[in-house]
Amino acid sequence: MKPDPRYLLGKPVRDRILSEVQSMTGAAGRIGKLVSISIGDIPEVAVYVRNQARAAALAGLPFDQEFWGGEVGQDECKARIQAMNDDPDVLGIILQRPVPDHINVRSLQSAIHPLKDVEGMNPASIGNIVYNDVAMAPCTAAAAVELIRETGLDMKGLEVVMVGHSEIVGKPAAMMLMAEGATVTVCHHLTRSVAMHSRRADVIVVAVGKAHLIGPDMVKPGAAVIDIGINQRIHPDGSTDIVGDVDTEAVKEIAGWVTPVPGGVGPVTVAMLMRNAMRAYQRQQAAGWRT
């Protein structure tokens, strides 16, 4: 059976991007390795790292996993990151989140050199997005933009409504979409009527973390709906499932496109990390760090 064409699936987009990256890594010189840093023993981090390692293998990028004990201090973390900044064998640094409570994650993100910041989390990287330099953007925001592009809708003049204004998704995605010519409205928990905005949107991007927040009554017929939410539901019988911020099955009957959860934004996000790694390589070359 053919999948419903209204599902905007992440896997084909991911595969295309990973193979683009792979064709570049094959042609590149000594490219260095991606280093993933996990601090402490946090179960959900293991899933992310596994997905990233798999994508890196497909992209032809060496991927090293470092596990730092939960007792490691802030200064020691910073010193180790700074050593990686100076190490030509390190192409990019991935700081897995969450981290233990005694670690200041923002400060560590700032310590990662912008040319090695493949997650696009350093304030300087985020600032570059404001200046329309979107080479290394936060991966989830970049994935949302990539999926909108996939619809074939012309970004120029597109009315986009972002629901959620986080630093790592909502705000950078808004900036990136403005750079492409979209008119962007950013809604959040203080917005008086999200529906007033979402109903007039050509594209809705949701990143809030509330299961089924966006129902069909909030969507304009034919709109594209990009769902960044990942919510675990526990049912009365004890079983669990993962759903997004969008009531996908109901919205699918109204929307032109809707990204499923799982299988939509997630696979593209990890591909964006690999694309950032490739861009980091190009920028390090341009800066004379690599030959």
Considering only 73, 88, 181, 222, the residue that binds a copy of itself (CB under 8 A) is 181
Distance CA 252, CA 22 (A): 34
- Three-state SS string over 94-140 comes to EECCCCCCCCCHHHHHHHCCHHHCCCCCCHHHHHHHHCCCCCCCCHH
Stretch that binds a copy of itself, among 57-65, 186-194, 213-221, 278-286 (CB under 8 A): 186-194
Sequence-distant (6+) residues with CB within 8 A of 152 are none
Give whichever of 10 and 172 is closer to a copy of itself, judged by the CB atom: 172
Span 139-168, contacts to a copy of itself by CB under 8 A: 156-157, 159, 165, 167
Judged by CB under 8 A, does residue 172 bind a copy of itself? Answer: yes
Identify the DSSP state of 53: H
Query: Minimum distance between the CB of residue 47 and a copy of itself, rounded to whole angstroms?
Result: 26
Kindly determine how many residues on this chain lie close enough to bind a copy of itself according to the rule CB under 8 A. 33
| Centroid of chain to Cα 213 | 20
Judged by CB under 8 A, does residue 132 bind a copy of itself? Answer: yes
Judged by CB under 8 A, does residue 85 bind a copy of itself? Answer: no
Give me the residue label for tokens 């998704």.
Answer: 169
Question: Residues at the annotated binding site?
Answer: 164-166, 230
Distance CA 233, CA 21 (A): 35
Judged by CB under 8 A, does residue 235 bind a copy of itself? Answer: no
Q: What's the first-to-final CA gap in the chain, in angstroms?
A: 50
The four Cα atoms 123, 132, 194, 235 give a dihedral, to 10 degrees, of -60
Phi, then psi, of 148 in degrees rounded to 5: -65, -45
CB 145 within 8 A of CB 170: no
Burial of 16 (0-12, 13-18, 19+ CB in 10 A): middle
Give whichever of 165 and 275 is closer to a copy of itself, judged by the CB atom: 165
Which DSSP helix (H) or strand (E) runs through 34? strand 33-39
Stretch that binds a copy of itself, among 79-87, 121-129, 219-227, 272-280 (CB under 8 A): 121-129
Give whichever of 9 and 111 is closer to a copy of itself, judged by the CB atom: 111
Considering only 12, 73, 88, 127, the residue that binds a copy of itself (CB under 8 A) is 127
Judged by CB under 8 A, does residue 130 bind a copy of itself? Answer: yes
Distance CA 188, CA 210 (A): 12
Burial of 87 (0-12, 13-18, 19+ CB in 10 A): middle
Judged by CB under 8 A, does residue 199 bind a copy of itself? Answer: no
Query: Minimum distance between the CB of residue 122 and a copy of itself, rounded to whole angstroms?
Result: 7
Give whichever of 187 and 273 is closer to a copy of itself, judged by the CB atom: 187
Binding mask 32-51 for a copy of itself (x = CB under 8 A): --------------------
Judged by CB under 8 A, does residue 88 bind a copy of itself? Answer: no
Judged by CB under 8 A, does residue 128 bind a copy of itself? Answer: yes
Stretch that binds a copy of itself, among 10-18, 44-52, 176-184, 279-287 (CB under 8 A): 176-184
Binding site for a copy of itself (CB under 8 A): 106, 122-128, 130-132, 156-157, 159, 165, 167, 171-172, 174-175, 178, 181-188, 190-192, 197
